[in-house]
Amino acid sequence: MSEKPSSSVVVWDLFVRVFHWSLVAGVTVAAITGFFVGATAIDVHVWVGLALFALVVARVTWGFLGSRFARFATFVVGPRKVLHHIVELQEGTAGRHLGHNPLGAWMILTILAAITFLAISGLIVWGGIFAHGPFTGFYDFDDGQPFFRLHWWVALGLLALVALHIGGAIFESMRVHENLVRAMITGFKEPRENDAVEGAPEQPENGPRPGLTVLITLLVMAIPIGATFQASRIKIKVTHRPPDTRGTVYAENCSDCHGVYSPTLLPADSWRKLMATLDNHFGEDASLDADTTKQIEDYLVAHSAGSVETKPSAVFTTVSAKDPTRITASPFWVKTHRKIPDYVFSAKPVYSKGNCFACHSDAQSGWFYPGNIEVPDSIAPPKK
């Protein structure tokens, strides 16, 4: 770097810079997968979220063990100093800070707190609504709902903070005539005579400890990540799971023409109605003897939508008024599948909307985890 003036000092150490730009990349991916791609990106979203959490843990640790300008002691100031800084900004007398200015400092803390909240609430949503990860079995669908809403709003809030942060960086760059974005890439800044004083000592005594920082981060992250793998491996006991239909009288008698639908996909009244009209079952005669019909009906009603705390069981309690025995006519189904073009449903190997099994590899179990969705990629749009 020959063009850098000899008086320049490294303000943002390598860790701070890598952290900053990794956070930018991670938040971008998390926002795109969370707000736009939706359900099918859930696994990418969760793992990027965990990576962001790891970055935050590392940054907080580095705030105590890092180099001078990375330390909280250098830049975190109380509310009075923040107010003072704002007043000075208004008066036009505010000095230039070599490290973070008081407003930037609080922005950093708020962003770190928001990401921490998003990571924890996200894991609760993952466990409650989707029965995955460390909180599986501790939270169910109903518990997960309020966390999902909070997660969504805080995520939106984080994007607003990011916008504010970018605005602040541009404002400060113009105010003190220095390119702060470039400084966050190269790390260098040039000290000026009238720089506002920074709190911490020139060289912290227990000087930068990168090894210890990495170790602490790994130890902290071992908890959620370890628990995630454990949960999927040993299948933590979930008290309310959809019933296993394999081997039941229902499965034996209702699998001739289509797959075995989880009983949790229709409410009790719909099952009763469907079982009462088997002689005209969507244009087919599917009638069975009275005994078997009764047995199947009892089974379906006992495990109908609303009977267990899974997402499908909750969302399929509402059916179409016109077509109450058709899962694919229910408001939730129609809304969730609206983006899938009709030709996909009529093409091989799907053939019909009711063939959940073609796209949801766990349809049989009744879970419908979004990470298990795969629309067969052999289906091409029809040629005109």
User: Is residue 347 near ligand HEC by the rule CB under 6 A?
Assistant: no
Among 131, 227, 224, 39, smallest CA distance to 139 is for 131
Fill in the amino acid letter for 99: G
Q: Which is nearer to ligand HEC, 34 or 370 (CB)?
A: 370
We find the least distance from the C-beta atom of residue 225 to ligand HEC, in angstroms, to be 23
Q: Which is nearer to ligand HEC, 191 or 374 (CB)?
A: 374
Contact residue for ligand HEC among 186, 295, 318, 355 (CB under 6 A) = 355
Stretch that binds ligand HEC, among 25-33, 81-89, 219-227, 351-359 (CB under 6 A): 351-359
Q: Report the interhelical angle of 102-128 vs 14-31 (nearest 10°).
A: 50
Contact residue for ligand HEC among 169, 326, 362, 371 (CB under 6 A) = 326
User: Is residue 350 near ligand HEC by the rule CB under 6 A?
Assistant: yes
Q: What is the β-pairing status of strands 188-189 and 96-97?
A: unpaired
C-alpha dihedral (12, 16, 18, 21), degrees to nearest 10: -90
Contact residue for ligand HEC among 15, 243, 356, 364 (CB under 6 A) = 356
Residue 144 · residue 125 · CB < 8 Å: yes
Tokens 């797959």: give the residue: 259
Instruction: Say how far apart CA 105 and CA 72 lie, in whole Å.
Output: 8
Per the structure block, which two tokens stand in for 247? 């081997």
Residues between 214 and 273 with contacts to ligand HEC, criterion CB under 6 A: 253-254, 256-258, 261, 265-266
User: Is residue 373 near ligand HEC by the rule CB under 6 A?
Assistant: yes
CA of residue 256 relative to chain centroid, distance? 39
Cα distances (angstroms) measured from residue 53 to each of 160, 226, 247: 19, 14, 44
User: Is residue 39 near ligand HEC by the rule CB under 6 A?
Assistant: yes
Q: How many CB atoms lie within 10 A of CB 240?
A: 14
Fill in the amino acid letter for 70: A
Contact residue for ligand HEC among 145, 318, 336, 372 (CB under 6 A) = 336
- Residues in contact with ligand HEC, total (CB under 6 A)? 41
What are the backbone angles phi and psi of residue 196, rounded to the nearest 5°? -65, 145
User: Is residue 108 near ligand HEC by the rule CB under 6 A?
Assistant: no
User: Is residue 40 near ligand HEC by the rule CB under 6 A?
Assistant: yes
Among 129, 84, 125, 116, smallest CA distance to 103 is for 84
We find the least distance from the C-beta atom of residue 317 to ligand HEC, in angstroms, to be 12
Chain contacts with ligand HEC (rule: CB under 6 A): 38-40, 253-254, 256-258, 261, 265-266, 274, 278, 281-282, 284, 286, 296, 311-312, 326-328, 336-337, 340, 344-345, 350, 352-356, 358-360, 368, 370, 373, 375
